[in-house]
């Protein structure tokens, strides 16, 4: 975790907490020493070179520990994807393939979780504004992603041979479908009025990642963020939480 203050969430669990810095090889090597399996979740940054350096440090530590690796990825890795981090997600699998490390890859689709706090803004806007046109987007909840990763970690027969899994809900959603769902659960009319990629970047520029998010949705407009699979079921034996159930519960809890 990036915030050490959140470490107290694990106080009641029988787990060992270790502080490490992705850019401090000494802390990395100490953290994974004697560990059989490392689950690597990249840090939140849009600095491409920094992210690659971070990964290479993790790979070096994993090799030294003779550990196995689960790389938690994102499905925006196509060679024609304009998302600014697409080169990183395309680079790592190729690098791992030549690394002599036993590994597997988990590709998350878009997280559904940010949609819950976004609902209040959409109620005021009266429209979803994602610049993806008629193209659908695929989602997974963070809780379901964590469950699938934990199941993979516990089932060695399903990993360590370069396997790649895509985590998604059973179906994807175009923005008209998503607007209908949001309207039902909020009792407010929410439509779909997409802005341009440039406008979207300007709207969210103050949040510090407007251009980066716009580049991601530019990939969505090409149909590159729509893939679904049954890999979640294959790893967990259950179905992923579907969008309306997730948003309804999240919206009701947020209003308490």
Contact 114, 255 (CB under 8 A): no
pLDDT for position 2: 59
Residue 7 φ then ψ, to 5°: -65, -25
Over 90: is that where the pLDDT of 11 sits?
no
**In this structure, what are the phi and psi dihedrals at residue 224, rounded to the nearest 5 degrees?**
-95, 0
The reported pLDDT for the residue numbered 202 is 97
Give percent of the chain with pLDDT exceeding 90: 89
Q: Is the pLDDT of residue 227 over 70?
A: yes
């Amino acid at each position: 975790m990036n915030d050490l203050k959140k470490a107290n969430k694990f106080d009641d669990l029988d787990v060992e907490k270790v502080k490490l810095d992705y850019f401090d090889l000494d802390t990395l090597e100490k953290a994974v020493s004697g560990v059989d399996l490392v689950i690597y979740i990249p840090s939140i940054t849009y600095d491409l070179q920094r992210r690659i350096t971070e990964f290479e440090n993790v790979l070096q530590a994993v090799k030294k520990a003779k550990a196995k690796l689960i790389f938690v990825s994102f499905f925006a890795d196509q060679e024609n994807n304009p998302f600014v981090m697409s080169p990183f997600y395309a680079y790592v699998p190729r690098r791992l393939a030549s690394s002599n490390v036993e590994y597997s890859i988990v590709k998350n689709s878009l997280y559904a979780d940010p949609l819950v706090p976004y609902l209040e803004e959409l109620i005021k806007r009266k429209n979803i504004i994602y610049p993806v046109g008629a193209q659908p987007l695929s989602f997974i909840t963070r809780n379901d992603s964590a469950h699938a990763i934990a199941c993979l970690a516990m089932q060695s027969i399903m990993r360590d041979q370069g396997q790649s899994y895509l985590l998604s809900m059973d179906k994807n959603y175009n923005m008209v479908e998503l607007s209908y769902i949001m309207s039902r659960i909020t009792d407010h009319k929410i439509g779909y009025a997409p802005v341009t990629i440039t406008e979207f970047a300007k709207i969210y520029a103050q949040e510090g990642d407007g251009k980066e998010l716009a580049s991601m949705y530019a990939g969505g407009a090409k149909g590159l963020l729509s893939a679904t699979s049954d890999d979640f079921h294959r790893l967990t034996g259950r179905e992923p939480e579907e969008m309306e159930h997730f948003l309804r519960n999240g919206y009701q809890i947020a209003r308490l």
